[in-house]
Amino acid sequence: MRFRNVCVSPLSLWVVFCLLSVCYFFTGCDRRPVQPPAMVPEVGVMPVSFQKITLTTELPGRTSAFRIAEIRPQVNGLILKRLFTEGQDVKAGQMLYQIDPAPYQSALENAKAALGRAEANVPAIRLRVERFHDLLSDNAVSRQDYDDAFASLKQAEADVAYWKATVGTAQINLGYTAVKAPISGRIGISNVTDGAIVTAYQPVSLATIQQLDPIYVDVPQSTTDLLSLKRRLKDGRLKKNGASSDKVKLIQEDGAPYPQEGALQFSDVTVDPSTGSVILRVVFPNPENILLPGMFVQTVIKEGANEQAILIPQQGVSRDTKGNPFALIVDAESKAAFRPLTLDRAIGDKWLVSAGLAPGDSLIVEGLMMLRPGTMVKATPLNESQPDHKPSASSDAQSQKRSKGGV
C-alpha cells in the first residue's frame, strides 16, 4: 500500500487544537467539586443564676480631728514661760502657758481691801437705822432722818455686793494668767515664745490641741448615688443587714487596710451646690494615732444585701459601636442569641447585671470572636473550678466602683 505525502498547514493544526479544547471543557463541566460540610463553632458557656452578695461602695474621704481647741489668752499680759512640749499629748486642765500674774494679783488685793472697807461700814449704819426706827414711834426723830439712814444702809450693802463681784472678777482674771488645756489631745506648734506680749482673745491662737482618738472621716457622696441607693432599698432590691450595715472599712493612703472598722455616724442634710454631694461622717477608733487630720483615705461603705444578684465574667460582655453593653447566649435551638444588658457596677473581675439576663440562660463566655447572632453553635460548659469563672459570693473584700458607659 502506498501512502501519499500529506502536507498539513499551521492553520489546520490551530483549528484542531481549538476543537480539542472545547471538547475537554464540555466534558469536564460535569465533574463538580464536592463541598465540605460547614463547621459549627464551639463556644464555652456558663449558666446564669441568682447569688446573694453584699454590695459596697468605695468612696474617697478625708480625716479630721474629733475635737479641736484653739488656745487663746483671756487676759492681756507677758508670757513668762511655755510649759509643754510641742507635738506631745496633753491632758485637760494641764497648764500650757504662764502669763505674768503680778498686775492681776495686785488688782485682787485692791478689790479685797475695798470690800473690807465696805463691809466695815455696814454694821454702824444698820445700828443707826434700828435706833431711828425705835425713836420714830415716839417722834424723837423725823421721818426724813429715818429714811436717810435707811438709804445709807442700802447703799452700804450695795457697795459690799459690788466689791464682792470685783473680787470675783479679779480672781478669775488671776486664774486666766495660767493658760490651761481645755481638752485632752495632741498639741501642735506654739505660735509664741517666752517674753511675748499677748492680748485677750487675740485672732492668732497660741497653739492648737486636736483630739485624735477617735477621729472623723468625712466622705462626700453624690446625690445621684444617694437617691439610687434609697430607691433600691425602697424597691426591695437591697436589704439592710441591721447594725452591721453601719460598719465602714478604711483603706489608707498607701493601700493598706486599716485594722479597725468605723461606724457611720450621720449623713448631712445640706447639698454642696459646687459638687452636688452630701457629707457622710464616719467615726473610727484611732488608739495608736495612725490616722492624722488631713489624710486622704478610701472608705468601703456597705449598701446592703442583694439576694437576687446576677454576676457574670467581664469577658462575656461586649459593646456595640455606641458603647452599649450586650451579651450572647445559646437559645433552645442551639443558636447564638443577642441580649442587651444594663450593668450596675464592676465587682472584681465580674459585672453585676441589673437587666438583660435571667436565671437558666447559657451565657457564652469563650469563642465570641467573629460570632454573630443566629449562628449555630456547639455549647461546651466551662470548668467551674477555674478561678476565672468561679462566681463570687460577696464583694466585701473587693474594690467596687461605678462602671462607665451604660452603668
Q: pLDDT digit of tens for each residue in the chain (407 aa)?
A: 444 444 445 555 555 555 555 555 544 444 555 556 567 888 889 999 888 887 778 889 999 999 999 999 999 999 999 999 999 999 999 999 999 999 999 999 999 999 999 999 999 999 988 888 888 777 778 888 888 888 999 999 999 999 999 999 999 999 999 999 999 999 999 999 999 999 999 999 999 999 999 999 999 988 887 787 777 677 666 666 655 567 889 999 888 999 999 988 887 778 888 888 888 889 999 999 899 999 999 998 887 777 888 888 988 899 988 999 999 999 888 888 999 998 888 888 888 888 889 898 889 998 888 888 888 888 888 864 344 433 333 344 344 443 333 32
Is the CA virtual torsion 387, 388, 390, 393 positive or negative? positive
Fold classified for 74-99+177-204: OB fold (Dihydrolipoamide Acetyltransferase, E2P) (2.40.50)
In angstroms, rounded to a whole number, what is the distance separating the alpha carbons of residues 30 and 354?
59
Q: Which of 346, 345, 343 is nearest to 354 (CA)?
A: 343
Residues in the chain: 407
Task: Return the C-alpha torsion angle 125, 128, 134, 139, nearest 10.
Answer: -120
Question: What CATH superfamily classification does 101-176 receive?
Answer: Helix hairpin bin (1.10.287.470)
Q: Which three cell numbers stand for residue 204?
A: 492668732
In angstroms, rounded to a whole number, what is the distance separating the alpha carbons of residues 42 and 376?
9
In angstroms, rounded to a whole number, what is the distance separating the alpha carbons of residues 145 and 148?
5
Q: Cβ distance 47 to 310 under 8 Å? A: no
Instruction: Kindly give, in sequence order, each residue whose CB lies less than 8 Å from that of residue 64, ignoring residues fewer than 6 positions away.
Output: 215, 216, 217, 218, 293, 294
Query: What is the separation of C-alpha 398 from the centre of its chain, rounded to a whole number of angstroms?
Result: 16
Question: What is this structure's pTM?
Answer: 0.65
Reported as type and span, the H/E element at residue 157 is helix 143-176
What DSSP string runs through 113-131? HHHHHHHHHHHHHHHHHHH
Res 168: pLDDT = 95
Provide φ and ψ at 318, rounded to 5°. -120, 170
In angstroms, rounded to a whole number, what is the distance separating the alpha carbons of residues 295 and 280?
16
Res 16: pLDDT = 54
Res 146: pLDDT = 84
Q: Which three cell numbers stand for residue 375?
A: 449562628
What region, left, alpha or beta, does residue 207 occupy, with left being phi > 0 and alpha being psi -120 to 50 degrees? Answer: beta
Q: Which of 181, 180, 177 is nearest to 67 (CA)?
A: 181
- State the pairing for strand pair 42-47/362-366: antiparallel
Q: Cβ distance 42 to 378 under 8 Å? A: yes
Domain 47-64+211-402 has CATH 2.40.30.170: yes
C-alpha distance across the termini of the chain, in Å: 102
Res 394: pLDDT = 38
- State the pairing for strand pair 325-330/318-319: antiparallel
Q: Cβ distance 172 to 74 under 8 Å? A: no
Extents of the domains making up the chain:
47-64+211-402, 74-99+177-204, 101-176
In angstroms, rounded to a whole number, what is the distance separating the alpha carbons of residues 379 and 363?
10
In angstroms, rounded to a whole number, what is the distance separating the alpha carbons of residues 2 and 58?
112
Q: Would you call 95 helix, strand, or coil by DSSP?
A: strand
Res 75: pLDDT = 95
Task: Return the C-alpha torsion angle 149, 152, 157, 159, nearest 10.
Answer: -170
Reported as type and span, the H/E element at residue 133 is helix 102-136
Q: Cβ distance 299 to 220 under 8 Å? A: no
Q: Cβ distance 104 to 174 under 8 Å? A: yes
The radius of gyration of the chain's CA atoms, rounded to the nearest angstrom, is 47
Give the CA distances from residue 122 to residues 119, 127, 141, 235, 383, in Å, rounded to whole numbers and listed in that order. Answer: 5, 9, 21, 80, 104
In angstroms, rounded to a whole number, what is the distance separating the alpha carbons of residues 252 and 262?
13
Res 5: pLDDT = 46
